[in-house]
Chains A and B, each alone.
Chain A
Amino acid sequence: MKNEALYNYVLRLGDDSLILGQRLGEWCGHGPILEEDIAMTNISLDLIGQAMSLLDYVGEIEGQGKDHDALAFLRFENEYRNALLLEQPNGDFANTMMRQFLFDAFRKPLYEKLLESTDQQIAAIAEKSLKETKYHLKHSSEWIIRLGDGTDESHQRAQTALDLLWRYTDELFFETADDVSLVASGIVPSMNEIKTQWSKTVQSVLEEATLVIPTNNWQFEGGRRGIHSEHLGFLLADLQYMQRAYPNMKW
């Protein structure tokens, strides 16, 4: 492949959107209140839309005529490159919002930087996605604050979610040796910059929410290298069901 580094980078972006969009879709019809059901579906729709653009571009970089569907539905589990955080099950609403918040706080500064990418296509996708992501971050921050500083029960649930998900956050800033060349040519930002911004957002929102960052900073990684948790297989069983059961058909 001509540009394997770029392929891998965009694939990570696309898979993050795809897997989180898929997870949020599970809430549709089951939200804690009608208004929030609608809000979560909006976020899911935004993410699926982003996944389509990003995976189309992945296919273009690869140059073998694959579109977003071929990539979204017809890979093996170890070929998905999403971060582990995003494939974690929804759990309760606190867990879903915490997962969303930790991701949005990462995605927003990333898209802000990708706006300036020397790669026109990435810059264009970032422009559209940033508008959506800003809203997602606002939405998830508002909820984290309300849950953290709401009732004893909601505080407890939000803290539990934070304790559980914190271990998946470092992986978001995963960088390969190949990425260095992309950074050097101004296609993508260095993850250091993104992490600084992420930490700032996370700290200030969690503080307002009266939530405490776990002291144990033992971290998991693997998703970016194709080594996933047990949860992804089940998610893919749903996602890929039709394409696997009825191969080579148009829908």
Chain B
Amino acid sequence: MSNKEWPLWEVFIRSKQGLNHKHVGSLRAPDATLALANARDVYTRRSEGISIWVIESNNVHASDPSDADSLFEPSDTKVYRHPTFYEVPDGIKHM
């Protein structure tokens, strides 16, 4: 019975022109057309969006949280990627 239930979709909404689509939640739908329609009805009842993406949840691949140290911490030590790493003499402007 449960294999006849509709698959889960992740919903992303662009709230206004110039901003990225942002994940807002999920819903059930049998196909992409109805997923979009449902997303409109469920997640934009208060003019929250001007554009919607939906993606079937089983197509989302996530990084493993237990790998987080090896994935993300190495970049913490690369302080030279940030402008504040460099000293500039007083009085220099527009840099």
Contact = CB atoms under 8 A, between A and B. Distances in A.
A and B touch in the complex (CB under 8 A): yes
Interface of A: 33-36, 38-39, 42, 138-139, 142, 146
Report whether over half of chain A's contact residues are helix, strand or loop; otherwise say mixed.
Answer: helix
A35 B42 contact: yes
A39 B6 contact: no
A95 B81 CA distance: 63
Given A38-B42, A42-B45, A146-B30, A33 B6 contact: yes
Contact of A35 (B28, B33, B45): B28
Interface of B: 6, 27-30, 33-34, 37-38, 41-42, 45
Nearest to B30: A146
Nearest to B5: A33
Given A38-B42, A42-B45, A33 B28 contact: yes
Contacts of B30: 146
A39 B37 contact: yes
Contacts of B29: 35
A177 B33 CA distance: 44
A186 B55 CA distance: 47
Given A33-B28, A35-B27, A35-B28, A142 B41 contact: no
A139 B37 contact: yes
A38 B41 CA distance: 7
Given A33-B6, A33-B28, A142-B33, A39 B38 contact: yes
Contacts of A138: 37
A42 B38 CA distance: 11
A138 B36 CA distance: 12
B41 A42 contact: yes
A35 to B, nearest CB: 4
A205 B45 CA distance: 28
The 3 closest A-B pairs by CB, nearest first: A35-B38, A39-B41, A38-B41
26 contacts: A33-B6, A34-B28, A35-B27, A35-B28, A35-B29, A35-B34, A35-B38, A35-B41, A35-B42, A36-B38, A38-B38, A38-B41, A38-B42, A38-B45, A39-B37, A39-B38, A39-B41, A42-B41, A42-B45, A138-B37, A139-B37, A142-B33, A142-B34, A142-B37, A146-B30, A146-B34
